[in-house]
Each structure stands twice: as structure tokens, then as C-alpha cells.
Chains A and B, each alone.
Chain A
Amino acid sequence: MSSRQRRRRLRRAKAPGDPGDIGWLYVLPGLLFYGLFTLAPLLHTVYYSLFDWDGLTPKRWVGLANYSEAIRDHVLLRAFIHSAVLIAFYALIPVIIGLLLTAALTRTRIRGFRFFRTTLFLPQLIAGVVIAQAWVWVYDASGPLNRGLELFGLGSLVRPWLGDFSWALPSIGVIGTWVTFGLCMVLFVAGVQKIPLELYDAARVDGAGAFREFFAVTLPGLRNEILVAFVLTTINALRSFDVIYNTTAGGPGNTTIVPSMYMYQNAFLFNRVGYAAAIATILALVIFVLAAIVLRAGDRSEDR
């Protein structure tokens, strides 16, 4: 036996009593559901994307025509740009808010932290449809936001926020920031408690100010938490369908359209099933690439 074979065998060696291929019996039932109802439809979507189909009459093979149309489709381009804006609101701003607050909070044990944690975390668990109703009221012509502005003498700013061509998208973005900032805050504040105090003492002995201390100790110490926050919030941003469908439905005039909304419209309102499938495929690819980039970035910084 060559040493290479031996090493290979060692790596694959089973622990004493490992039941081995019986493992398949345990995996199979779950795999069946996953394969039939998640994986197969995903592949089926890719297949549909190669046809021109209205959902009723027979499909017509068009090869990659749907994709070449997608590349030139200004609405789809807008939808992806809106997604990028929403990622800023759902992921970037909450992470920055979370970090700033973490830096501002003192590192002594916070009494009653559990109460704050419970409250800050709440928006994460509420259904998108419910969140939409709450914010439709907050942004309402006679809702709390506009009344509040009047109260502070800012009546000139009063507007129907979700119906305004330039303010609708940022208004949706603020909903996203609201949904995710608590998650980031709780993650970071809890993470800081795990950084050994000696590191801070050492930094202080070296004469580091609060600023240097944050960049030299706190930020590297929170690497995992920041990574997790980015993954969770970015996925939140790209899956903003529930909130958008129930607030603006992509309007006014496509100013809040996002890829999943545009896919839904093409598939179920415009009867362009093949084209909708192409949009879905592109969206899946974009998410996969983004996730791969973030996870690779995490791996690399771990090697250091």
C-alpha cells in the first residue's frame, strides 16, 4: 500500500462501530422532500427559462433569448439597482449603527440587558405582512411621522412617503433598517462581552486612545459577529418581497420594483412565465455569488 493510499484510507477511516452506509437510511427521507420540493423546482425554473411560455398554450423553445432580453431590460436593471440600495439600508447602515453603539456603550455589565435584547430583537420575528401594515400607518398622510414633523414645525416636509416618486425607495429602506438594526446591535454588544478584558488593558498600557482601541481590539474581536450580521441582513434585503408587495407593490411607477417583485409580476400578472423563470435564475445566481464572496472573505480573514 503506497503512503498516499494509506493516508487516504486513514482520512476516510471509520470510528469503531460507525454504522457507515446505514447513514443513508437516516438522510434519505429528508433528502426526498428537499430534492422533490426544493432542488427539483430550482432546476425546473432553469429549464422554463429557456422557453417562451404564457402558462397556457404550448411552450416554445427559445434558447437563451430570455436572458439576452433580461440583459437589455431597463426595468430589471432598475430592480437590481434598487436591491443594491436596499442592501445599503438593510445591511450596511444597521451594521454601522450597531458598531457605533457598541463603541459608545461602556463595557461594564449592563443590568437588564435581557430586556433590551428581547425588545431590540422583536422586529426580526414579526411577519413581513404585519410589518408592512405597521409602516403603512407610520407613513400615512395623517400618520405619526407626518404629525410628528408638523409638531416640530417641519410641516413643509409632510408628504405621502410611500406614494412619492423619490421618497418611496428610501422609505422602504428605512423599514429594512428598522427590521435589522436590533439584530446587529444585540449581536455586537453580546460579542464585545466575550473579548478578553486583558486585550483592552494591554491596549491602554500601550497608550491607545478610545479610537485606536476600537480599531485594534473591538473590531477584530467582532469579526465573526460582523460576518454573520452581513449574511443575515443581506439575505433579508434580497428577500424583501413581503414588505414591498404589501406597501408599494413596486410602485409608484416602478420606483420600488425589486427582482422578486418583477419576477412575480411577469409570472402571474403578465403571463410571461419563461421570462420570469429567467429573472428567478439570475436572482438565484446573484445571491449565490454574493454569499460565496462574503463567506470567502470570512475564510480569508480567519487564516490571518
Chain B
Amino acid sequence: MRASRAEMMGTYIVLGAFAIIAIYPVLSILFLALHTKNDLVTGFAFPTHPDLSSFKAAWSEGHFATGFKSSFIVAATVTVVSAVLSTLMGYAFGTMRFVGDRIVFPIVLLGIIFPYEATVIPLYYDFANVPILHWHLLNTYWALILPQIGQSVAFGAFWMRAFFRSVPRSLIEAARIDGATSFGVLWRVLVPQAMPAVLTMSLLVFVYTWNEFLLALVLVSGSESHQTAPLGLSFFAGAARAGDPTKVAAAAMLVALPILVVYLFLQRHFVRGMFGGAIKE
């Protein structure tokens, strides 16, 4: 089927129009952020004299040095730990038969469907005073790290199981017959091949953890030094919007920036992640 020039033009115009819609709201706060309060910005104002002072002010007044530190500690820990645990789980679910595997796997899958909103109330009361151990985890990084590992391994186990099932059986069986231990098969034969799948999974978990809001709101809002970047943004927006919207816009851009940078460099892996797992040819 050959498309005429006119048809091709139409295609690009439609795609282009929707691409503009997709980035416009983000661009509009970027433009707003590049102004200062004195510019009295309205509407579409394009920053003819871009000024970074709103960014500087937002960074210090919104305590984003602390917010970024908390978010990096939490997101990095959750990503690394759940990547390791999910790989182990996916390996067992994907390549071994063991007693109860057909009962346990569907239970793990429930974790992808069920809303974590339904776990946040007991997490709050149990972390305030952990039963039996009497630890106080509320307003610590642990309060965010532990539950998010729990949620991420549900998705991760599902994701890695799909990968390990796609590996040719003969490869695994040959290694087993050569006398490799089960861990040897995983570590020396499968993990080198699994790296792209692990990378995609880790990116998705990192983004999800970085963006998380409800858990942070409920579990660490009592400690300023443990607030994550999105929580800090929410508080800062509430306090500063009436006074100076350019600072709130700058703060929002700052919180989005790490994800935008990672996405631009590794977008191939993201898109594969969203589509590859869900759709089989």
C-alpha cells in the first residue's frame, strides 16, 4: 500500500498536533518557571529573558536538597533490593516445579492488581509501634522502603518469570546436566542474558518509587528531614503558590528533572518495558 504525499502530510500533522498536546502542560510550567514573580506572567508568556532565580529560590525554600536525598536513598534501595529478589523469584517461578508453586504465584500476582491504598492505614499504625519488636519506624526511610519493596517484587517476579520462561529449556537443561548447581545456572548462564530485562524492570521500579506520593504523605510527613521530593513539592506548592507561582513551577520542574533525564537517555528500555511484557506476538 502506497500512501500519497497528501496522506503522509496528514499523518504527520495529526501526530505533531497530539505530540504538542502531550508536552504543552509541561512546557507551560517550564516557561512559567523561567520567569520571576515581577514579570506578572499570564497565559502563554514565552520567557524572552530566561531567569533561573526562581529555580534557586525554590531549591532552598522548598528544602529540595533534603527531598532529593530522601528520594534517592529510598528509590535506589527499593530498586536494587527488589531487582535482586525479583530475579530470584522469577527464576524459581519460571524454571522450577516445586510444591505449592501453583498456589503461591497467583497470590503474588494479586499484589499487582490490588491497590496499595488499601494497605496504608495498618502500615501507619504498625510502623508507629511495630508489634512484638516495638520499633518506631514511622518517619524513617524504612517506612517507605519496606512496603515499596513488597509491592515491587510482585510486579518484578511476574516480569522476570516471563523472561525466564522465554529462555530455551535446552539451555538450562544442558547446564544442569553438566552438573551446574541451580544457583550456578542462574548466575553464570541466565543472569548475563537477563540483564536487559533486569534493567527495564529496575527503571520502571525506580520511576514508580521516585514518583510515589500517598505512602510518603502518610508515613513520613511528620519528619521534615525524611520528606521525599514529591511530598516536599506538595507542601511547598501549598505554602508558596499564592505568593509566587513561578517558584512552584520551578519546584515542579526540579522534581520531574531526574525522571526526564533518565527517560531521554534510556527511553528505548522504558517503551519495551511498557509493551514488551504485556503483548506477545
Contact = CB atoms under 8 A, between A and B. Distances in A.
Interface of A: 12, 14-24, 26-27, 29-31, 33-42, 44-45, 48, 55, 101, 104-108, 110, 115-138, 140, 142-144, 146-148, 151, 178, 181-183, 185-187, 190-191, 194, 197, 200, 224-225, 228, 238-239, 241-242, 245-246, 260, 263-264, 267-268, 273, 276-277, 280-281, 283-284, 287-288, 291
B75 to A, nearest CB: 12
A39 B111 contact: yes
A15 B173 contact: yes
B89 A26 contact: yes
Interface residues of B, number: 108
A27 B89 contact: yes
Contacts of B89: 26-27, 30-31
A254 B233 CA distance: 24
Given A39-B111, A133-B249, A246-B237, A30 B25 contact: no
A137 B248 CA distance: 10
Given A34-B154, A127-B211, A148 B119 contact: no
A116 B7 CA distance: 17
B19 interface: yes
A277 to B, nearest CB: 6
The majority secondary structure among interface residues of chain B is helix
Contact of A108 (B3, B16, B123, B245): B3
B146 interface: yes
B207 A291 contact: no
B176 A104 contact: no
Interface in B254-281: 255-256, 259-260, 263-264, 267, 270-271, 274-275, 278-281
A41 to B, nearest CB: 4
A22 B3 contact: no
29 contacts: A16-B176, A18-B96, A19-B96, A19-B182, A26-B92, A30-B88, A30-B153, A30-B156, A33-B85, A34-B108, A37-B150, A42-B114, A44-B122, A55-B125, A122-B22, A123-B22, A130-B233, A133-B233, A133-B237, A134-B26, A134-B28, A178-B22, A187-B275, A197-B1, A228-B279, A245-B214, A246-B237, A264-B218, A291-B113
A185 B18 contact: yes
Contacts of B278: 224, 228
Given A41-B122, A41-B126, A138-B28, A127 B230 contact: yes
A128 B213 contact: yes
Given A44-B122, A142-B42, A144-B44, A133 B15 contact: no
B115 A260 contact: yes
B1 A200 contact: yes
Contacts of A39: 107, 110-111, 150
Nearest to B280: A224
A241 B8 CA distance: 41
Contacts of B88: 26-27, 29-30
Given A23-B97, A42-B118, A228-B278, A106 B176 contact: no
Chain B CB count within 10 A is highest, among A30, A104, A115, for A30
Interface in B53-108: 82, 85-86, 88-89, 91-93, 95-101, 104, 107-108
Chain B CB count within 10 A is highest, among A15, A108, A130, A138, for A130
Interface string B121-138: 111111000000000000
B162 interface: no
A22 B98 contact: yes
B49 interface: no
Given A283-B117, A287-B113, A287-B114, 4 more contacts: A33-B153, A118-B264, A121-B271, A273-B125
Interface in B1-40: 1-3, 7-8, 10-12, 14-16, 18-19, 21-26, 28-29, 32
Given A130-B256, A280-B121, A108 B8 contact: yes
Chain A CB count within 10 A is highest, among B2, B110, B210, for B110
B47 interface: no
Nearest to B125: A55
Contacts of B197: none
B225 interface: no
Contacts of A55: 125
Nearest to A246: B234
B259 A21 contact: no
